[in-house]
Amino acid sequence: MRSRLATEITWFWRTVTPGEKRVVRRFGWASAFVVAGLTITGVWQFFSHEPDPNWFRYTTETSLSLPRKPSTGGAELHALFGDAAFVIALFGGAWFAYKIVFRVPKLAVLAILVTFLANITGSMIRFNAIKISEHSFEQADDGYLQLFNRDLEFVVNGRQELGSATVQILTFGHIVTVPLLLFAAWFTLMRARQAREREQSTTDRPSPA
């Protein structure tokens, strides 16, 4: 028995015009480019994001907030890809929902929610200073792997101080968003291919005499 998603994709592919199919393919290529950019810049950030020396005077007693040093590095590029992913998921999902007679597919909603949560968690875990037990701010390393250090006390981002458990959960949640999007894209493509193959086999089947 075919799933509801496979049925919707089959119906969708039969009703769209050749021009609309080209739009779908362009959305697909744009999505692939954005996901690749998110993956590359995300891995880069995970291992190389640096604490900001301007924030090393932060103290929990005074909650001193300093202006964040402008960055032109991978963090901005990663955030740009994240915004692009949200736009593609939003407009792509809305267009697809319109084409199936105002029925919103669950996968489109999932993609929008995942990209939205990715943007939120990404902004929260972008740290300026890291406090490891018995170490000063200056002794913190680069990258996010150290956030899973059992001696982590807290992390300072641009707005607040996050405890170790909170920042670890947010970081893990942010990391899994790209695999979720990749799985959603793969699942949709596989379903679409199966729908086209079934449609083709039905078309090629000889009619009864």
Confidence of residue 1 (pLDDT cuts 50, 70, 90): very low
Order the strands of the 129-132 sheet from edge to edge: 129-132, 152-156, 161-163
Q: Is the pLDDT of residue 19 over 90?
A: no
Phi-psi region of 73 (alpha: psi -120 to 50; beta: other; left: phi over 0): beta
Confidence of residue 53 (pLDDT cuts 50, 70, 90): confident
Compute how many other C-beta atoms are within 10 angstroms of the C-beta atom of residue 57. 11
**Residue in this structure with the two tokens 């902004």, named with its chain if needed:** 123
Q: Are 103 and 177 in contact (CB under 8 A)?
A: no
Q: Is the pLDDT of residue 66 over 70?
A: no
Q: Is the pLDDT of residue 41 over 50?
A: yes
- Residues 163-189 have pLDDT tens digits of 999 999 999 999 988 787 777 667 666
Mean of the pLDDT values across residues 96-122? 74
Q: Is the pLDDT of residue 141 over 60?
A: yes
Q: What pLDDT does 204 receive?
A: 59
- Residues 113-135 have pLDDT tens digits of 888 888 899 989 999 899 999 89
**More confident: 17 or 43:** 43
Strand-pair partners of 154:
131, 163
Percent of the chain with pLDDT over 70: 66
52: nearest Cα among 156, 171, 148, 177: 156
- Residues 75-96 have pLDDT tens digits of 888 888 988 888 887 787 777 6
Q: Is the pLDDT of residue 136 over 50?
A: yes
- In the 8-state DSSP scheme, what is residue 151? T
**More confident: 17 or 91:** 91
- In the 8-state DSSP scheme, what is residue 139? G
Q: Which helix (H) or strand (E) holds 24?
A: helix 18-48
Mean of the pLDDT values across residues 56-71? 65
- In the 8-state DSSP scheme, what is residue 147? G
Residue at 65: amino acid letter? S
Q: Is the pLDDT of residue 147 over 90?
A: yes
